[in-house]
Structure 1
Amino acid sequence: MYNVKAYSATSATAPLASDTIARRDLTENDVQIEILFCGICHSDLHMVRNEWTGMPTVYPIVPGHEIVGRVTQVGSAVTKFKAGDLAGVGCMVESDGSCPQCKAGFEQFCPNLTLTYNSTDKHMGGVTYGGYSDSIVVDERFVLRVPPNLELPGVAPLLCAGITTYSPLRHWGVTEGKKVGVVGLGGLGHMGVKLAHAMGAHVVVFTTSPDKKEDALRLGADEVVISRNSDEMEKHAGSFDFILDTVSAKHDINAYLNLLARDGNITLVGAPPKPLEVTAFSLIMGRRSLSGSNIGGIAETQEMLDFCGEHNITADVEVIPIQKVNEAYERLVKSDVKYRFSIDMASLKSE
């Protein structure tokens, strides 16, 4: 066991502040990583403030599941990594490896999943601590290779926002010639646009904000629709193969279901706090479907990183020192960031 610097919160109302936490010594299958950058996800804010009743927060909490760093040490049985390699860690750090989900490559659905933070730590007791820290020790199976050509600050959010959007795009067969909609242009939406564009799709962004049009086109959208304009919406009726809905606020899902072509699908990756009202005829007329998705398995996450390396895709980030994390949380509530925060963990050394 060894100690590292970190930032933690001690209650739902306490700010994140400097702390010291313990990390486990390496087992034969472990990889030790010096954390260079850690993205800020909206779920970090929800967890720190104990806003998810189904997943109560255990304090102190060290958030962070968008981790990019450099390998400093490996266990004796590790074969995929060596000291000096670039590596990433996403939302999960262990699963049972034996359930049907794990065997199928869907570790994210394992009933015995260990999340990167605020999850039962079977090695040290208590809960797991995340990436707002100097270093982390993770089982080799859950460590990812980072393409060396990508800028590391923008790679960090790929470990959550990237895979959250890539997985449904791949699952629903987005390829060249498909017409794809992206609802919302935030942290998830901007990644959906970049990835769908790189897959060769015709990409249409739906937004309530006319001032986002220029940015949407810059990110790779072919068209931008102001969703409050019924005439603009009607022009696209019955024409989409797939729509990725990234909005976490209340909205009319039927307006988007009616834009789907026969056998088209909408996948929710945003999580509105109240149930969405779905009319049966929005689904029946055209054999349309509505589904949800969270992240992806380890193999698919590696596939996503390799795809991003091939197409030179990273998240648009604002890099901040750890000392500004509480300010970043307040700005996140106001959607005052384009499009993700990435913490330069070198700033932790001055604490």
Structure 2
Amino acid sequence: MSSVRAYTATSPTAPLTPGTIERREVGPHDVLIDIAYAGVCHSDIHTVRGDWGRVPYPLTVGHEIAGVVAHVGSEVTRHRVGDRVGVGCMVDSCRECVNCRAGVEQYCLRGFTDTYNGTDRDGSVTQGGYSEQIVVDEHFVLRLPESIPFERAAPLLCAGITTYSPLRTWKAGPGTRVAVVGMGGLGHMAVKIAHALGAEVTVLSQSLKKREDGLRFGADHYHATSDPDTFTRLAGTFDLIVNTVSASIDMDAYLDLLALDGTLVSVGAPPEPVPVTLFTLFENRRSFAGSKIGGIDQTQEMLDFCAEHDIAPEVEVIGADQVNDAWERVMASDVRYRFVIDVATLREPATA
């Protein structure tokens, strides 16, 4: 075991504080990563605040991790010391069930191991990327393309794959009309990726304040959902709607925007149940679905796709001692579009 510096949550209401966490020794198939940058995801906040269930404090969150391989186990074949690598939302799975064998480890029938707040192989609680180092099985370590800077690569490991996976699964591309609900960390990536796939892209955002950004990222159209006429004008329009917001919305109103055989996929997860009227699904033979990140192979595919198409998140780099302010700004939707922690600042004295 080794101790590394980290920012840690001690309760659902207390601010994150600097401290240390323990990392397991590097096993034969493990990779030790010096973390360079860690993205701030809304899921980090939901988890710490107990929105999604019980939390074993103290807990270090962060599942958008970019860094460099510092050491490899004796039987590692996928990575070498010095490689640019990343870690996303999962660090293990059974690798034996039908879903794991199909390359969709995120749907492991025994449950995959979350990067944080999961149960590690030794029974301990997994700790995330707001820290100096992490030890991960080589199978769950991704190769980062050279053309994507570390700070912009980190959010791809969650925001990127979370939006890429449903766009690929429901075949967004030329001739398809895709709507993206929300223009935050997930939404702006959905716009960029859907545009690169060749779809006609519409942003559905509460207001028009990010319209210029949306069009610059590749949206063809941009509408305010606070205007009731939007839902009337766009009824029956879209083949695919990707809902990226984690707040409750009137799902029936958005389902009404689907064309024949259209699908609404939610990747945002509000803490409370969202009602859906079945009769809304009956019209136009609509579907309502959910999607959870992506498998390891698809995540690597996404990284390579983003490198090929010059796609990367818009980020604001912060010091570790700014993370509590950043969380407040995330909750206030005051970020364009992803905070990323410069982990080198963990080695510096806190100033706030």
CA RMSD of aligned residues (A): 1.3
> Aligned partners of 1:209 and 1:43: how far apart in 2?
23
Structure 1 residue 282, shift from structure 2 partner: 2.0
Q: Any conservation in 1 of the 2:39–2:63 contact (CA below 8 Å)?
A: yes
1:281 & 1:22 partners in 2: Cα distance? Answer: 52
- Residue 30 of structure 1 is matched in structure 2 by 30
Aligned-residue offset at 1:9: 1.7
- Contact 2:51-2:271 at 8 Å conserved across structures: no
Question: Aligned equivalents of 1:96 and 1:313: distance in 2?
Answer: 32
The match for 2:242 is 244
Deviations, residues 104-139 of structure 1 (Å, cap 9, x unaligned): 11111212421111111223x421111111111100
CA separation of 1:238 and 1:35: change in aligned 2, threshold 3 A: same
Partner amino acid for 2:105?
E
Q: Which runs of 5+ in 1 are unaligned?
A: none
Residue in 2 aligned with 1:169?
167
Which residues of 2 match residues 312-327 of structure 1 at below 5 A?
312-327=310-325
Q: Give yes or no for contact 1:164–1:293 (8 Å, CA) kept in 2.
A: yes
Q: What letter corresponds to residue 119 of structure 2 in structure 1?
A: T
Distance in structure 1 (CA, Å) of the matches to 2:32 and 2:273: 41
Distance 1:6 1:230 in 2: 46
Structure 1 counterpart of 2:269 = 271
Counterpart secondary structure, 1:33:
strand
Task: Give matches, 1:44-63, under 5 Å.
Answer: 44-53=44-53, 56-63=54-61
Change (3 A) 1:147 1:191: same
CA contact (8 A) 1:249 1:271 kept: yes
Aligned-pair CA distance for 1:153: 0.9
**Aligned partners of 2:167 and 2:94: how far apart in 1?**
27
Residues 142-193 of structure 1 deviation map (CA, whole Å, 9 limit, x = unaligned) = 0000011012111111111111111110000111221100011111111110
What are the within-5 Å matches in structure 2 for residues 108-187 of structure 1? 108-110=106-108, 111-123=110-122, 125-187=123-185
Deviation (angstroms), 1:336: 1.0
Return 5+ residue gaps in structure 2 as ranges: none
Normalised by the size of structure 2, how large is the TM-score? 0.96
> Size of the alignment, in residue pairs?
348
Deviations along 1:183-221, one digit per CA (max 9) or x if unpaired, are 111111111101100101010001121212111111110
Contact 1:225 1:233 survives alignment (8 Å): no
Shift of residue 84, structure 1, vs aligned partner: 0.8
1:16 aligned partner, one-letter code = L
Q: Indicate how the Cα distance of structure 1 residues 288 and 112 shifts in structure 2: closer, same or farther if over 3 A, else same.
A: closer
Amino acid at match of 2:65: I
Partners in 1 of 2:328 and 2:226 — Cα distance? 27
- Following TM superposition, by how much is the alpha carbon of 1:343 offset from its aligned partner in structure 2, in angstroms? 0.3
**TM-superposed deviation, 1:302:** 0.8
Residue 49 of structure 1 and its aligned partner are, at CA, apart by: 2.1
Report sequence identity in percent: 55
Q: Can you list the C-alpha shifts for 1:6-40, whole angstroms capped at 9, x where unaligned?
A: 11122222221111222112111111110000001
What amino acid maps onto 1:229 in structure 2?
Answer: D
| SS of equivalent residue, structure 2 residue 318 | strand
Deviations 1:241-299 (A, max 9, x none): 11101122222222221221111111011123333332333211211101011111111
Name 1:228's counterpart in structure 2: 226
Q: Is the 8 A contact 1:154 1:316 kept in 2?
A: yes
1:291 aligned residue: 289
